[in-house]
Amino acid sequence: MAKITYIENDGTEHSVEVRNGLSVMEGAIRNNVPGIDADCGGACACATCHVYVDEAFQDVTGRASAMEESMLDFAEGVQPNSRLSCQIRVSDDLDGLVVRLPESQH
């Protein structure tokens, strides 16, 4: 289990425990965190689970795959620390992860 903090664009924080093996997106959906739409259900076929990964965890979460990068082309406000939360698998190494949500997922 890892404690993950999701920070909405307005600054509202949601800290939740997420089981290992789930994606960061699934953790948000299962805990009713607003701001992650996940229209494709985690298939890396949209960009509605876009998050900004805290700098301290960028190495741990890894780099976006080519497919993920192509989907991020559809997201608004992409930054160097942008990731699709459906592509980040939760492990003990992610305990304390902070992700920020963009203003919009569309």
Query: How are strands ordered across the β-sheet holding 50-53?
Result: 13-18, 2-7, 98-100, 50-53, 82-84
Q: Contact, 38 vs 48, CB < 8 A?
A: yes
Predicted local distance difference test score (pLDDT) of residue 47: 95
The whole-model pTM stands at 0.95
Task: Give the model confidence (pLDDT) of 38-88 as tens digits.
Answer: 999 999 999 999 999 999 999 999 999 999 999 999 999 999 999 999 999
Predicted local distance difference test score (pLDDT) of residue 106: 73
Predicted local distance difference test score (pLDDT) of residue 85: 98
- List residues bridging with 83 in a β-sheet: 51
